[in-house]
C-alpha cells in the first residue's frame, strides 16, 4: 500500500515545488467543448494534457472505453514524464468523475503514487491560484514497467455470475453498484446506449452522491453512504457505470470511506446493454 493520499486539495498542490509532481489535465465530456480546447484556453501551470479517448482507452470493446494494453499505457506515462517514483496528480472539471479513471488505472497497474485533485480545475480557479496557456516542456522518460492486477477488473460473465450468486441462501452476497444518474439507472432516459435500464440486481449509487459542493464528502459521510448500500457486508464490491469511467469515482470514494479493493466492470452498461440476450431491469433500486 502507498502512503500517498488518494485525494489532495488545491492549496497542497500549490505548495509543491515545480516539477515535484506530474500534474495531468484530464478534462473530458461526451459533448460540449473539446477537452484539448479547454486545456489550451487555460490550465494549471505545469499540467500536461492527456486524452481520455486516445490515451486511456482503445477501440474494439468490450464497451466504449476498454483499458489500453499495459504497454500502451506505459508509453503514455513515459511520454508525459512519469517515472516509477513520480507522484501523479490528475484533475478534471467534473468533480473528479473523469480524473478518477487515470487514478484507478495507474493504481491497478502497480503505480501507487497517484492522487485526484479535490474539486478539480474549478476549485483551483476559485482559490485564486494562477492558470496559464503555456504548455510545459516535459522530457519523456523510459516507459515504466506496469503489471496489471487483473483481479481488480471484472467482465460481463463475472458480473452475471456474482449476481446469480445473490439467490443462494446463506451466502455473503456480492454488491454491484451503478454510478450513473438515477434517471438512466431507472431506464427513463438513455442518451448513449442502445437499451435503457440497468443490470438486474445492481443498486444505484450515483457518483454525484460522493460530492458536496463539487468536492468529496468527508470519509465518515462516505462510509455511512456505502454502509447503507451494503459495502461492509458484501463478499465482493463491483463498480459499474456507462463505460467504466465514472465507476472509478465510486472506487475512489470507497477507498476514502475505508472500503478499499473494489473492482471495476470495465465494459459496464455499454457492454452489458449491447448483448442481445442480456437481461435488463428498469425502475427503482431493488433495495
Which one of the listed residues 88, 99, 229, 241 is annotated catalytic?
241
The conformation of residue 218, written as its DSSP 8-state character, comes to: P
Alpha helices in the chain (DSSP H): 10-15, 35-41, 52-55, 70-79, 99-108, 120-126, 156-165, 182-185, 219-229, 247-257, 268-272
Where does residue 79 fall: left (phi above 0), alpha (psi -120 to 50 degrees), or beta otherwise? alpha
248 included as an active-site residue? no
Burial classification of residue 4, based on how many CB atoms lie within 10 Å of its CB (0-12 exposed, 13-18 middle, 19 or more buried):
middle
Q: Do you know the residue count of the chain? A: 287
Which of 119, 159, 157 minimizes the C-alpha distance to 9? 119
How far is residue 109's CA from residue 105's CA, in Å, rounded to a whole number?
Answer: 6
- Phi, psi dihedrals of residue 158, rounded to the nearest 5°: -65, -45
- Phi and psi dihedrals of 216, rounded to 5? -65, 140
**CA dist., res. 18 & res. 57, Å (int):** 29
What is the per-residue DSSP string for 110-173?
A: T---EEEETTHHHHHHHTT---B-PPP-----PPPP----GGGEE-HHHHHHHHHHTTSTTPPP
Q: Which residues are designated catalytic?
A: 241
Amino acid at each position: 500500500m502507498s502512503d500517498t493520499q488518494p485525494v489532495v486539495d488545491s492549496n497542497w498542490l500549490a505548495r509543491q515545488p515545480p516539477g515535484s509532481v506530474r500534474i495531468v489535465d484530464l478534462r473530458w465530456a461526451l459533448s460540449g467543448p473539446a477537452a484539448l480546447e479547454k486545456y489550451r484556453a487555460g490550465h494549471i501551470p505545469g499540467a500536461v494534457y492527456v486524452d481520455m479517448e486516445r490515451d486511456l482507452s482503445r477501440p474494439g470493446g468490450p464497451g466504449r472505453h476498454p483499458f489500453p494494453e499495459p504497454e500502451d499505457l506505459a508509453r503514455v506515462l513515459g511520454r508525459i514524464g512519469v517515472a516509477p517514483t513520480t507522484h501523479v496528480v490528475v484533475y478534471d472539471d467534473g468533480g473528479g468523475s473523469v480524473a478518477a479513471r487515470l487514478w484507478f488505472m495507474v493504481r491497478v497497474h502497480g503505480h501507487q503514487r497517484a492522487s485526484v485533485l479535490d474539486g478539480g480545475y474549478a476549485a483551483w480557479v476559485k482559490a485564486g491560484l494562477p492558470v496559464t496557456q503555456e504548455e510545459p516542456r516535459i522530457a519523456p522518460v523510459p516507459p515504466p514497467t506496469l503489471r496489471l492486477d487483473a483481479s481488480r477488473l471484472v467482465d460481463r460473465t463475472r458480473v452475471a455470475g456474482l449476481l446469480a450468486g445473490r439467490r443462494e441462501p446463506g451466502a455473503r452476497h456480492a454488491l454491484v453498484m451503478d454510478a450513473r444518474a438515477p434517471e438512466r439507472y431507472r431506464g427513463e432516459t438513455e442518451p448513449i446506449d442502445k437499451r435503457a435500464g440497468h443490470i438486474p440486481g445492481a443498486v444505484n449509487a450515483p457518483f454525484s452522491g460522493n460530492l458536496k459542493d463539487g468536492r468529496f464528502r468527508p470519509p465518515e459521510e462516505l462510509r455511512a453512504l456505502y454502509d447503507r448500500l451494503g459495502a461492509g457486508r458484501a463478499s465482493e464490491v463491483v463498480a459499474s457505470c456507462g463505460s467504466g469511467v465514472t465507476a472509478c469515482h465510486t472506487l475512489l470514494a470507497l477507498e476514502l470511506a475505508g472500503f478499499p479493493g473494489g473492482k471495476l466492470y470495465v465494459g459496464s452498461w455499454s457492454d452489458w446493454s449491447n448483448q442481445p440476450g442480456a437481461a435488463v431491469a428498469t425502475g427503482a433500486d431493488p433495495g
